[in-house]
C-alpha cells in the first residue's frame, strides 16, 4: 500500500528494497496485493464521498438557514474539471472530479479508461489464434466484471463522459443537485449537460463563477419576500416608484455580485453591498450614502460633494430607487444574512483558487504520468488523494485503518508536514500569479502611454534607443 500511495510500481519498489538490502516482492505478488486493495475501491469511494457530501449538505443548510429534512435535495455549485494521464489527446485514462465551491471538498470523481490489460494480451492472443472463440470469450470476460474498459470514444470526450456519470448519480448518491458548474473556459461538458438535462427538462445546469451563484441566492430571497408578503396582503412589488419589481430585483442581484467582485476584503464587500441598497433608498430629503465609496467614480452624491456642488436630483439620478419605509423592514434581514462576513469570506477564497488543479497534482503524484497505469490503480490513487485532500492526514489514516493497516505517530507527522507544504505552495503560487498580473497591466499601461505620447508628438522613448 505504501508504494501505491507514493506512486511506486513493482520495479521501483524492487530498486528501493535492493538499495536498502531488504527482501522485495515479486511482480506477481505485488500485483496480487495491489488487486486485493483494489477490490476495496468501491467501498472506499463510497465512504469518502458520502462523508464529504454530508458535510457539504450540513454547511449549505447552515449557511442559507434552510429548514429541511434529511431527504431534501439541495442544489449546490461545483467546480468541475478533467485531467488526463498522458498529455495530448491520446490518453487511455482520464479523470473528472468535482469540488463543492463553498466547502472546497471533493464530492465525487470518475475515471474513464480505454484500456484493459487482459483484453490487450489474452484477448488479442485468442483473437489471433482462435477467432471463432473470441466473441464468446469477450462476453464472459465482461460478464465476470474483469474488463476495465468503461469508455468508448476519443480521449478528449472523457471529461464529458465523466461529467455525464457524475451528474446523473448526484441525487441518488448524495441528495445533491449540481445546478451550477464552475469551469475554466472549456465548456464541452457543459454543452453536453445542456443536452442531457440530468435533473428535469426545465432545470438547466448553469455555468458561471461562484459569486454569481451567491448572487442568485439574493435574487431568490428577494422574490420570495415579494411572494410571501403578497400572501399577507403586503405589496412589495407591483408598479410605481421605489417598488421591488422584477427589474429592480435583477439589478440588485447584479449590484450584489459586482460589490463582491470589487471588494478586496470581506469587510469591503459588505460595505459595497450595503451601499448598493442604501444608495437606492436615498431621496433628496433623506440621503443615505454613508456606505457609498468616496470619490467621484460611482455615486453622484459623493461626486457632487467632492466638486463642492449642492447634491440633489435623486429622483432622476438614482437608477434603482427603493422605498425605504416600505422595504427596509423586509430587506434588512435578507441583506444581513447574505452580506454576513462569514459568507463573504468564503466567496473571497473561492474566486481566487483553482482547487481542482491542486487535487489532480496530488492524484498524479500517486501514479506518475510517466508510466501507464490500470484503471483500478488510478481509481485507488483518486480515492486516497480525495481522502487526504478533504481531511488532511487524518483522512489518509482513516483509509489505512479501514484497509487493515496500522497507523503510527510517524505517519501522522509526515502527513502534517506534507499538508503544511501544500498550503505554503498554494499561497506562494497565488502571490506569484498576482505579481504576474500586475506586471502585465503595468506593461500595457506603459505601452498605451507611449503610444499616446507618440500620437501627440511628444517624446517617444523606444526601448534600445540608448
Contact residues toward Zn ion (CB under 5 A) are 116, 118-119, 147, 279, 289, 292, 299, 301
Cβ–Cβ < 8 Å for 98, 79: yes
Closest CB to Zn ion among 301 and 380?
A: 301
| Burial class, 120, CB count within 10 angstroms (exposed 0-12 / middle 13-18 / buried 19+) | exposed
End-to-end CA distance of the chain: give it in Å, rounded.
64
- Smallest separation (angstroms) from Zn ion to the CB of 339: 17
- Smallest separation (angstroms) from Zn ion to the CB of 242: 16
| Burial class, 398, CB count within 10 angstroms (exposed 0-12 / middle 13-18 / buried 19+) | middle
Neighbouring C-beta atoms of residue 169, cutoff 10 Å: 13
Closest CB to Zn ion among 314 and 366?
A: 314
Closest CB to Zn ion among 1 and 118?
A: 118
- Smallest separation (angstroms) from Zn ion to the CB of 290: 9
- Smallest separation (angstroms) from Zn ion to the CB of 66: 33
For 466, the grid coordinates are 540608448
Cβ–Cβ < 8 Å for 246, 252: no
Closest CB to Zn ion among 95 and 116?
A: 116
The gap from C-alpha 349 to its chain's centroid, in whole angstroms, comes to 11
- Smallest separation (angstroms) from Zn ion to the CB of 166: 23
- Smallest separation (angstroms) from Zn ion to the CB of 300: 7
Cβ–Cβ < 8 Å for 381, 399: no
| 3-class secondary-structure state, position 269 | helix
Closest CB to Zn ion among 60 and 289?
A: 289
**Cα–Cα separations (whole angstroms), residue 177 to 74, 81, 196, 301, 360:** 6, 17, 14, 44, 23
Closest CB to Zn ion among 123 and 411?
A: 123
Amino acid at each position: 500500500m505504501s508504494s501505491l500511495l507514493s506512486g511506486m510500481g513493482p520495479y521501483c519498489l524492487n530498486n528501493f528494497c535492493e538499495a536498502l538490502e531488504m527482501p522485495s516482492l515479486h511482480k506477481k505478488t505485488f500485483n496480487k496485493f495491489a488487486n486485493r486493495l483494489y477490490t476495496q475501491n468501491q467501498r472506499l469511494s463510497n465512504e469518502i464521498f458520502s462523508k464529504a457530501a454530508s458535510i457539504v449538505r450540513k454547511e449549505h443548510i447552515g449557511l442559507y438557514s434552510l429548514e429541511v429534512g434529511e431527504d431534501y435535495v439541495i442544489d449546490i455549485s461545483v467546480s468541475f474539471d478533467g485531467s488526463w494521464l498522458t498529455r495530448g489527446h491520446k490518453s487511455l485514462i482520464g479523470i473528472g472530479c468535482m469540488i463543492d465551491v463553498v466547502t472546497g471538498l471533493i464530492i465525487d470523481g470518475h475515471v474513464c479508461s480505454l484500456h484493459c490489460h487482459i483484453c490487450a494480451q489474452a484477448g488479442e492472443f485468442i483473437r489471433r489464434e482462435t477467432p471463432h472463440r473470441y466473441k464468446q470469450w469477450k462476453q464472459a470476460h465482461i460478464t465476470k466484471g474483469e474488463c476495465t474498459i468503461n469508455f468508448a470514444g476519443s480521449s478528449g470526450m472523457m471529461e464529458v463522459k465523466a461529467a455525464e456519470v457524475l451528474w446523473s448519480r448526484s441525487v441518488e448518491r448524495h441528495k445533491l443537485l449540481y445546478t451550477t458548474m464552475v469551469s475554466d473556459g472549456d465548456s464541452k461538458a457543459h454543452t453536453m449537460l445542456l443536452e442531457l438535462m440530468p435533473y428535469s427538462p426545465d432545470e438547466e445546469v448553469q455555468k458561471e463563477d461562484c459569486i454569481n451563484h451567491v448572487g442568485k441566492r439574493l435574487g431568490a430571497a428577494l422574490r420570495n419576500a415579494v411572494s410571501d408578503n403578497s400572501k399577507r396582503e403586503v405589496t412589495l412589488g407591483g408598479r410605481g416608484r421605489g417598488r421591488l419589481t422584477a427589474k429592480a430585483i435583477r439589478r440588485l442581484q447584479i449590484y450584489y455580485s459586482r460589490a463582491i467582485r470589487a471588494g478586496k476584503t470581506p469587510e469591503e464587500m459588505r460595505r459595497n453591498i450595503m451601499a448598493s441598497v442604501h444608495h437606492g433608498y436615498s431621496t433628496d430629503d433623506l440621503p443615505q450614502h454613508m456606505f457609498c465609496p468616496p470619490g467621484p467614480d460611482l455615486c453622484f452624491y459623493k461626486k457632487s460633494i467632492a466638486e463642492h456642488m449642492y447634491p440633489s436630483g435623486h429622483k432622476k439620478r438614482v437608477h434603482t430607487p427603493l422605498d425605504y419605509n416600505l422595504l427596509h423592514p423586509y430587506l434588512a434581514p435578507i441583506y444581513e444574512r447574505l452580506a454576513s462576513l462569514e459568507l463573504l469570506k468564503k466567496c473571497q477564497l473561492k474566486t481566487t483558487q483553482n482547487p481542482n488543479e491542486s487535487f489532480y497534482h496530488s492524484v498524479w503524484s500517486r501514479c506518475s504520468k510517466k508510466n501507464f497505469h490500470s484503471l483500478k490503480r488510478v481509481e485507488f490513487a483518486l480515492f486516497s488523494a480525495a481522502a487526504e485532500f478533504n481531511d488532511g492526514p487524518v483522512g489518509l489514516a482513516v483509509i489505512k485503518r479501514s484497509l487493515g493497516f496500522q497507523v503510527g505517530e510517524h505517519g501522522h507527522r509526515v502527513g502534517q508536514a506534507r499538508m503544511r507544504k501544500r498550503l505554503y505552495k498554494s499561497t506562494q503560487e497565488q502571490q506569484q500569479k498576482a505579481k504576474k498580473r500586475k506586471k502585465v497591466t503595468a506593461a500595457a499601461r506603459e505601452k498605451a502611454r507611449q503610444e499616446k505620447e507618440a500620437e501627440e508628438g511628444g517624446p517617444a522613448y523606444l526601448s534600445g534607443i540608448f
